[in-house]
Amino acid sequence: MRVPFSWLRSYVPELESPEVLEERLASLGFETDRMERIFQIPSGVVFARVLEAHPIPGTSLKRLVLDAGKVVEVVSGAGNA
């Protein structure tokens, strides 16, 4: 059976990682055939929430205030910002 780790974690929030889950299942006598990482976030990638977006007059740029674990300001030329 294929089960997403995120789904299992919604029921058992204290699970730290898929590897910890595999160890716990094995200790209970459940065999794991294999584990697959469908998507892994590349190192160095940071996710942030846009708190504010202000156009910079005379340019196509925007000044953004982001929450990325700490509040930071950046300038972006992205069309979807």
**What would the CATH number be for the domain defined by 1-40?**
3.30.56.10
What confidence score (pLDDT) does residue 81 get?
67
By percentage, how much of the chain surpasses pLDDT 90?
Answer: 46
Please, which residues bridge with residue 76 across strands?
Answer: 62
DSSP letter for 79, please. Answer: T
In the chain, where the domains are located: 1-40, 42-81
SS3 string of 51-73?
EEEEECCCCCCEEEEEECCCEEE
Contact of 25 with 32, CB cutoff 8 Å = yes
- For residues 79 and 11, the model is more confident at 11
pLDDT at 68 over 70: yes
